[in-house]
Amino acid sequence: MTELNNHIVSAFDRDLEGIQAQIMKMGGLVEAAIMEAATSLETRDIEKAERVRNGDKLIDALEETLNDEAARVIALRAPTASDLRVVLSVMRMSSNLERIGDLAKNIAKRTDVLVQMPQVGDTPTSLRRMAREVELMLKDALDAYIQRDDALALDVIARDEDVDKMHNALFREFLTFMLEDPSNITACMHLHFIAKNIERMGDHVTSIAEQVVFLATGQKPEDARQKGDETAAELGQHSASNGS
């Protein structure tokens, strides 16, 4: 009987290992997509942007495989409550990763259009820096997942505030460029969408880190965390200071 149980447990563990290997592979591809998207914008490299767009298909396919595999494991192994929690968290994480991949693809699409316009300040470099921050957060969130390291996961959650600050600062910059010279409007709209996409990537990474905290401690990270976009308030101030 004990042997039978051991057998069942280890079969689940083997399955779980397989799933975790897949999620790390997916994570690696998404990390690369974030940086490739931001770099192709900065260097105005349309070929690299196209690679990001095409690469997203593989990320989508991995999510589908992961979900099918997770559902198969649940149906086949009838995991205990705590094992089930791990499998369900993997499904959520893969959904977050897939969305980050989508956002990288969106950036790459806008890059194709932006290269046809004059550059607006050195904002693409600021955007690449912001993307780099998010990429490092994702790397740490995935490490934290594998190690079940809630301290590292909480650190990732805290760093999302820096990303939000970068986004808010960039937003003010875009607004200034647009008000100064209306011929900047179209480019700035694109650039701000890109900033917003990177900010949303940070939210998804944070959501992964929150899963890790929950897995490691059984507790949800206490604060229902600020959602980051303070541009509503920013815009209000800005318009007030412009008297419009």
Choose between 131 and 175: whose C-beta lies nearer to its own copies.
175
Choose between 84 and 158: whose C-beta lies nearer to its own copies.
84
Which member of 190, 208, 211, 221 binds its own copies (CB under 8 A)?
Answer: 190
- Nearest residue to 205 via CA among 244, 162, 147: 162
Q: Are 116 and 183 in contact (CB under 8 A)?
A: no
CA dihedral 59, 62, 64, 65 (to 10 degrees): 170
Q: Are 195 and 164 in contact (CB under 8 A)?
A: no
Choose between 91 and 158: whose C-beta lies nearer to its own copies.
91
d(CA 55, CA 224): 34
61 binds its own copies (CB under 8 A): no
Please report how close the Cβ of residue 24 comes to its own copies at its closest, in angstroms: 22
Helices (H), 115-219: 123-147, 150-180, 185-217
Count of residues engaged in binding its own copies, rule: CB under 8 A: 47
Which member of 41, 153, 163, 175 binds its own copies (CB under 8 A)?
Answer: 175
CA atoms within 13 A on the CB side of 58: 15
d(CA 82, CA 41): 43
68 binds its own copies (CB under 8 A): no
Choose between 78 and 151: whose C-beta lies nearer to its own copies.
78
- Please give the distance of CA 164 from its chain centroid, rounded to a whole number: 13
Site pattern 83..122 for its own copies (x: CB under 8 A)? -xx--x--x---x------x---x--xx-xx--xxx----
Cα–Cα distances (Å) from 1 to 6, 7, 164, in that order, read: 9, 10, 54
74 binds its own copies (CB under 8 A): yes
Helix, strand, coil share of the chain (percent; to 5)? 85, 0, 15
Choose between 108 and 166: whose C-beta lies nearer to its own copies.
108
- The length of the chain is 244
Choose between 136 and 179: whose C-beta lies nearer to its own copies.
179
1 binds its own copies (CB under 8 A): no
185 binds its own copies (CB under 8 A): yes
50 binds its own copies (CB under 8 A): no
4 binds its own copies (CB under 8 A): no
Binding site for its own copies (CB under 8 A): 60, 71, 74-75, 78-81, 84-85, 88, 91, 95, 102, 106, 109-110, 112-113, 116-118, 175, 178-179, 182-183, 185-187, 189-190, 192-193, 224, 227, 229, 231-233, 235-236, 238-240, 242, 244
